[in-house]
């Protein structure tokens, strides 16, 4: 039974890959989205937005870091 005094918690997904290995493996963007959606559904969370960041380059594992 849903308690109407407690609305669903609204959440967003943030998914990204930064290496070719991640993009080709089980950490691909579509896999992360699928897992995130399943997580939200299992916990009755209201998924309102999905943000996708493919990384600076999916082909260059040696790109400069943003910290300095």
Per-residue pLDDT of the chain (68 residues; tens, 9 = 90+): 455 677 899 999 999 988 777 777 768 899 999 999 999 999 999 999 999 997 755 444 554 554 44
Contact status, residue 32 vs residue 15, Cβ threshold 8 Å: yes
Cβ neighbors of 67 (< 8 A, separation 6 or more) are none
pLDDT reported for residue 46: 98
Can you give the residue ranges of every domain in the chain? Answer: 10-53
């Amino acid at each position: 039974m849903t308690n109407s005094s407690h609305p669903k918690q609204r959440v967003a997904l943030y998914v990204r890959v930064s290496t070719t290995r991640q993009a080709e493996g089980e950490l691909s963007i579509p896999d992360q989205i699928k897992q995130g959606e399943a997580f939200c559904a299992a916990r009755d969370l209201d998924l309102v937005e999905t943000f996708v960041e493919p990384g600076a380059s999916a082909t260059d594992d040696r790109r400069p870091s943003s910290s300095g």
